[in-house]
Amino acid sequence: LPPRRHLSSRNRPEGKVLETVGVFEAPKQHGKYETGQLFLHSVFGYRGIVLFPWQARLYDRDVASPVTEKSENAAGHGSKEVKGKTHTYYQVLIDARDCPHISQRSQTEAVTFLANHDDSRALYAIPGLDYVSHEDILPYSSTDQVPIQHELFERFLMYDQTKVPPFVARDTLCAWQEKNHPWLELSDVHRETTENIRVTVIPFYMGMREAQNSHVYWWRYCIRLENLDSEVVQLRERHWRIFSLSGTLETVRGRGVVGREPVLSKEQPAFQYSSHVSLQASSGHMWGTFRFERPDGSHFDVRIPPFSLESNKDEKTPPSGLHW
């Protein structure tokens, strides 16, 4: 086991002294973290707490079988056949005190849903809800009975000093998870590295809407960009191809992502954001490239791994979000 190290709050206002947050624990090499586990995010540095685990299929093109040749698929682009392996992700709450400090590197502050049909707003968001991979978790313990500041913390979790970790799920958390399972669950994660830039994509089905006598299917996708090298690079353009089961192929090209052109450096190597896409078919897939610029002005393209957009055809009701 590593020595017990005390965590200190890194992001502090001027004139404030460092406060002890908790004590690091040894990361789990095997098994999974329990509901109520406190952690620091190893990439973005925020404090969080585990709500519950998900089992995802990770399609990692960096470890694709070397004997597999590139094949042309239905969409007409070459891709390596990749077998998915089971990987643990976690639904977590982010400490609201840390959100301002990660906003330049991560748009992890909200998970969006389609609103109920009787709600005029197309989307609504649950702030401070994120999905975290097992290896991103740096676990710690705290004697604080309310160690995470989030509006849902005390609604979802309660302190129980007889348990390890000492925070247990309330019935409201179990009911919320069960009711919103189809809209929260991440099933597939796609990953590919080009020239030391790793792209991770997680698509989520959000539901179907009827519009002008047709059905419109919505997905959200979360993208993380990581610079695994020491050279500073900046994202300049995105180029998407979106194929729908109805037979349409759409091309989307533009500057940056979500209005930003993030710089990935050794100090801040990652950027994460979410966006949305809709199709007039129950399934499809997307792929594309991000164009990056080096300090000398040269450019290179980074592949976005192809990923499927699949609907939950057995959906019954729209997500309930925070309507209890």
The string of DSSP codes covering 184-227 is: H---EEEEEEETTEEEEEEEEEEEEEEETTEEEEEEEEEEEEEE
| Residue 77 Rama label (left phi>0; alpha psi -120 to 50; beta) | beta
Q: What is the pLDDT of residue 23?
A: 93
Percent of the chain having pLDDT more than 90? Answer: 63
User: Minimal CA–CA distance to 74: which of 279, 249, 277?
Assistant: 249
- Three-state DSSP at 175 gives helix
- d(Cα 230, Cα 118) in Å, to the nearest integer? 50
Domains, the chain, in order of start with CATH, read 23-64+84-310 (2.60.40.1470)
Q: What is the pLDDT of residue 180?
A: 85
Tell me the per-residue pLDDT of 27-55, one tens digit each, with 9 for 90 and over: 999 889 999 999 999 999 999 999 999 99
- Three-state DSSP at 250 gives strand
Tell me the per-residue pLDDT of 140-183, one tens digit each, with 9 for 90 and over: 999 899 999 999 999 999 999 999 999 999 999 999 999 888 88
Q: Residues of the chain whose pLDDT is less than 50?
A: 1-3, 67-77, 120, 321-324
Check if the beta carbon of residue 284 is closer than 8 Å to that of residue 243.
yes
